[in-house]
Amino acid sequence: MNALAANTAGNRWTRTFAWLLRREFWENRGGFLWAPVITGGIAVAMATLLALAGAVQARRQLGGGEAESIDDLGAYLRIVGAAGDGLLMAGCSMLSAVLAFVVFFYALGSLYDDRRDRSVLFWKSLPVSDAQTVLSKAAWALLLAPLLSVLVGLAVGIALWLVAAVAMLVGGLPHPGALFTHSHPFSVAGRLLATVPLGLLWSLPTVGWLMFCSALVRSKPFLWAALVPVLGCVMLSVFGAVPGLDLPYGKIWYVAVYRGLMSVMPGSWSVHGMGSRLQSGEIHDPSQLVSAILDQTSNWQLYASWDLWIGAAVGAALVAAAIPLRRWRDEASA
């Protein structure tokens, strides 16, 4: 009987949580779905116009004749294939900035907006726990919104891929099929999808901090969440002019601002790795650049870093702290 009761309770919890996830999507589908779809549609439309203009110009320069012979066909095909991989990645890269803004402001208002419009009183009257509500919002900010962004980005990348192939064919450029035969769409898609769990752990400090502030403050959550850490770091930097006061200002800025506020940007973990590779002169052609970017999307070495796990632990603690705060705070001012 105890096992049956536990199983029934578990099924009820799962159904309630799934319902909360659907509720979050329908209440915020403008940011989660339509913002990346519209951005991607505009990008594809502009790329189509530019590709048509480029194809007409290329055809005009050829004068109806054949393209010049290629000295190193293998290198040319590799470059075209790398361009195809780059176009597939371009969709996700383009939408990553949209995702960062959507997730940042969604997490910032996730628990504050319910208190401001008093709808929290309605939701608390339902058989839904505060833990389920907070975790459903965290699930969208950390996992489901990035996953949806990657899927939409891949669709946009495929559209750009096809536009480029048609433009090469219309423009009379040699070997347009190399965009398909020498690119690696499944590898690119797999590596981009692999960024989702990595991004979940990396962005936990920012999402946790924003949700904690959203549950804690009674008004102006943006000022508390963003300006307080930034102004605190600025004041510490000003105090650095005091003789004898030696603080690790770079580390403080990194922890409080970069990890605390900017980790929500997809791929923000790769800044230092890409910078060192560019400065070392390892990258000499477009195919190597694309390969370096793909290596950063699946940077498994990051899973062994203390930076990732300490930040994830702090973020998880902040999300957990937001649960009792939501239970205690019922009202918020504008």
| Contact assessment for residue 192 and residue 293, using Cβ atoms and an 8 Å cutoff | no
**How sure is the predictor about 67, in pLDDT bands with cuts at 50, 70 and 90?**
low
Residues 6+ away with beta carbon under 8 Å from 245:
239
Residues 6+ away with beta carbon under 8 Å from 170:
52, 55, 59
Q: Which comes out higher in pLDDT, residue 248 or 144? A: 144
Which of 171, 213, 214 shows the shortest CA–CA distance to 53?
171
| Contact assessment for residue 108 and residue 210, using Cβ atoms and an 8 Å cutoff | yes
Query: Given a cut of 70, is residue 177 above it in pLDDT?
Result: yes
Lookup: tokens for 310: 């300490």
Q: Where are the domains of the chain?
A: 29-62+71-328
Place of tokens 């070495």: 301
| Whether this model's pTM surpasses 0.75 | yes
Which DSSP symbol is given to 183? S
Residue 17: CA atoms inside 13 Å, Cβ hemisphere, count? 14
How confident is the prediction for the chain on average, in pLDDT? 83
Looking at 125-270, list the stretches that DSSP marks H as alpha helix, in order from N- to C-terminal side: 130-139, 145-171, 178-181, 185-216, 221-222, 228-239, 249-253, 260-261
pLDDT for res 179: 87
Model confidence pLDDT, tens digit, residues 16-32: 899 999 999 999 999 99
Q: Which comes out higher in pLDDT, residue 188 or 277? A: 188
Place of tokens 């790769």: 270
pLDDT for res 149: 95
The CB density around residue 156, as the number of other CB atoms within 10 Å, is: 26
Model confidence pLDDT, tens digit, residues 291-307: 556 565 556 778 888 99
* Helical pair 271-279 and 286-297, crossing angle rounded to 10 deg: 150
Q: Which comes out higher in pLDDT, residue 40 or 5? A: 40
Looking at 63-144, list the stretches that DSSP marks H as alpha helix, in order from N- to C-terminal side: 73-109, 112-116, 119-124, 130-139
